[in-house]
Amino acid sequence: MEFRIRLDKIASVTRNIRLKPDVTVTTDIDCRAGAVIAVRILGEKSVYNQLEDVHGRMSMLHGGDVIAGALGHRHALQGYFGVVPETLKAGDKIHVLNLGGVLGTCLSQNPEVGAPFSAEVLGAVLAYPNFQSRQGVQAHITMNALPAAPSLPGMAPVIYIAGTCMNAGKTLAACQLVRHLSHRGMRVAGAKLTGISLLRDTLSMKDYGAERATSFNETGVVTTGADTAIAATRAVFAELMRGNPDVILAELGDGILGEYGVQSILADPELRSCATAMVLCANDPVGAWGGVQILRDTFGWNTDVVTGPATDNEVGVRYVRSQLGLPAFNARTHGKELAELLMEKLEESRGARA
């Protein structure tokens, strides 16, 4: 059965499709990651109660709001653990797993964010990709997505930013590097390579001066994993290279031991070949030690500098410098020094390639 509804809010995860508020939905639901569905929010929440729209604006969710989101999974230590349900029908209950409108069945939650919003499934949103045809197909975020890139084009130097966990300061470090490298006259592009769909991080990179910033979501992926991260990264890099940047700052969302495909990227020889530097964001000295060890012993990567909460004051900075023998700069307080170190790496790389 098909019927018309009006959406109160359209989640950012669906932005590839460019939905309008008035949509047609069907009760015949193809239950797979990336499928766009309409749901009605049930109840109210006092925390983790916002939704990011297709422009990156956050708005409050309230009981009764009808929204469009996309099915996907989330495996977040400091958030929700949720999966795509095997089947869905109109009237079923589903959960809002993140601020970007990813929808799935929540199986576990972090106490800090509380229980997720529950929502009533209304149906799958229909799209009409064929000009002058009223034959609808179930909308999926692969529609209008970036094309696949089987191999990398000639690449600008890439500075990878990895972390020991989510909320380790990766986006903050990326933004400070964008700012200071741009002030040095470089054309900087930003990338979010892994994680769960949300515009916030790439928009922050643009706010700090990135000429372009692109995420895996634009390749038609809701949540990255070992099976999607490499292909999504190639497509993101190919898109960014159209703008001829001097450097790409590539954030690896979540942690190096997470389940979003970071390890697949680290193990890929082609993606490693374009790396100029590795920035490690660590939450504490133990994380700094372990992150350096894992990057080196498991993946063969040298860490060039440590930042993040582990460097919030002289205690952590001194540990990294004296015990790990690595540079350490806090991105919030010493962003310029962090950028100067990486500028040296870029100049060394440029000289080696000449």
Query: Could you tell me the residue ranges of all domains in the chain?
Result: 2-138, 158-353
Segment 98-140, tens digit of pLDDT: 999 999 999 999 998 889 999 999 999 999 887 666 788 999 9
Segment 332-347, tens digit of pLDDT: 999 999 999 999 999 9
Segment 73-91, tens digit of pLDDT: 999 988 999 999 999 999 9
Question: What share of the chain in percent tops pLDDT 70?
Answer: 98
| Residue 353 scores a pLDDT above 80 | no
Predicted model pTM:
0.95
| Residue 354 scores a pLDDT above 60 | no
The closest of 338, 342, 265, 340 to 308, measured between CA atoms, is 338
Segment 186-230, tens digit of pLDDT: 999 999 999 999 999 999 999 999 999 999 999 999 999 999 999
Token pair, residue 126, equals: 């229909």
Let me know the angle formed at the C-alpha of 71 by 111 and 77, rounded to the nearest 5 degrees: 25
State residue 183's pLDDT score.
Answer: 95
From CA 145, how far away is CA 300, in angstroms rounded?
Answer: 33
Q: Which fold has domain 158-353?
A: Rossmann fold (3.40.50)
State residue 227's pLDDT score.
Answer: 96
Q: Mean pLDDT across the stretch 226-253?
A: 97
Band of residue 157 on the pLDDT scale cut at 50, 70, 90: very high
The mean predicted confidence, pLDDT, of the chain is 95
The closest of 257, 222, 220 to 236, measured between CA atoms, is 220
Segment 29-66, tens digit of pLDDT: 999 999 999 999 999 999 999 999 999 999 999 999 99
In terms of C-beta density within 10 A (0-12 exposed, 13-18 middle, 19 or more buried), how is residue 339 classed?
Answer: buried
From CA 102, how far away is CA 81, in angstroms rounded?
Answer: 12
Band of residue 350 on the pLDDT scale cut at 50, 70, 90: confident
